[in-house]
Amino acid sequence: MKKSRRKVFMTAGYNTISLGTGRKEFHPKKPRPGLEEYIREAGQGTLKQIGGGKNVDEGVISNFMAARFNKQGNLAALIPYVDDDLRWKPCCRVEGACGSGGLGLAAGMKSVLAETADVVLAIGVEVQNTVKAIYGADILAGAGWFRGERKKGHAYFFPAAFSDRAGAYFEKYGREKTRQAFARWYRNAIENARLCETAQEFHNTAENLESLALTEPNPRTFVDHLNVFDCSKVSDAGSAIAIVSEKGLKRIGIPKSDAVEVVGWGQVEADLTIPPEDPTRLETTARAVKKALECAGIPLQELGTVECHDCFTISGLLSVEAIGLAGKGEGADYVLAGNTSRQGTLPVNTSGGLIGWGHPTGGTGVRQAVTIWQQLTGKAGNWQIPISPDRPYALSVNMGGNDKTVTAIVYRRAE
């Protein structure tokens, strides 16, 4: 990928609460915010920091399955609902399953690079607690190939797909240590989420997290190789961030010190109809990360934090290897050595990731960018980690489907 000839920044991030089981506010039989409310809250949260909708040139909204979860399409036309000053401005909706958010960020960056916009409002949203879990699993299966996979797939389609990856990993590299690494991943996620007030697991008070996560999978009620603690939860949430040029930063009155610069990115698609050649490897993720790092011109050793797509503990472990932090089959050792914890050499998913913060599918990629913006600009509050001058960069990796749509972005605090 060619280096950008124009600088691109992100700033003024905002996350709603990730609502679902685990939050004290959540009750399945009580009224809850709808899709429009999450879009408006997230959008206004960013607009309040950048001087309102009058300063925005374009809008982009990322969402996966509102047409089925909420019976709502045409989401681009809900962006003006955020603020009257957004009426009559160009907006679009992007979709790439769980990787929709990353695609939305890429769309906003391209508008800035194309000089059609200096300020883009990027919103990511999903409201999924509108149906029972088993029906939700069927809706989410739309991220896979329906004609070739869904009709013969498991009722819990994606948990089963990643359970198959876990089973292949067990067979190739051993089960016991891998399961221990899954449990450590879960523990790290929950401990991080307990520090972040918007996280779905913020109220989690369970003791002995690793022992809990080592509960044996029960294929009679779920899937073969994963338990419910290995899975991200059903989440309702919205996130927003402003994607801007240098001119845009001046327009909205935000200093560079309160923004992050996008220094490299890679976006890769695999063929939806072809199953993974090696289920123990996230090849699309590896390719996207390689492109992003090459574009940024930095080595892995200069990363200070990572947001990876841990929709399941196995995908977290495989992401560690795909990014290049550990060799094939060595991800478990890397995690068990404490490297990915918030006190580790490279803290991963500092606000909880998909397992701890929540996974509002189409909004996750935007939430990852908000998390990194908060960390690199010192706005993370109770869950802030130190960012070393020797490791000033951050990486986000947003994956759609079974490693089919991947966007990787490298950031640095703007100077």
What CATH number matches the domain at 156-229+261-413, 3.20.20.70, 3.40.50.720, 3.40.47.10, 3.40.50.620? 3.40.47.10
pLDDT of residue 153: 74
CA dist list (Å): 146 to 54, 100, 199, 269: 42, 18, 32, 17
Please state the domain extents for the chain.
8-132+234-258, 156-229+261-413
- Please say whether the structural domain 8-132+234-258 has been given the CATH code 3.40.47.10: yes
pLDDT at residue number 150: 77
Residue for token pair 């909420």: 70
> Cα separation of 2 and 294, whole Å?
10
- Find out whether 321 and 331 touch, Cβ atoms under 8 Å: yes
Mean pLDDT of the chain: 96
CA–CA distance, 343 with 30 (Å, rounded to integer): 39
- 8 A C-beta contact, residue 340 and residue 191: no
Please, which residues have CB within 8 angstroms of residue 152's CB and are 6 or more apart in sequence?
A: none
10 forms beta bridges with 243, 260
Q: Is 76 exposed, middle or buried (0-12, 13-18, 19+ CB in 10 A)?
A: middle
Torsion of CA 191, 183, 235, 122, to 10 degrees: 70
Q: Which residues contact 394 (CB under 8 A, 6 or more apart)?
A: 260, 303, 304, 305, 306, 307, 372, 375, 376, 410, 411, 412
Domains 8-132+234-258 and 156-229+261-413 share a fold: yes
pLDDT score, position 4: 65
Q: Which residues of the chain have pLDDT under 70?
A: 1-4, 151
Residue range 48-82, pLDDT digits in tens: 999 999 999 999 999 999 999 999 999 999 999 99
Alpha carbon distances (Å) from 91 to 66, 94, 120, 235: 17, 10, 9, 25
Predicted TM-score (pTM) of this structure = 0.97
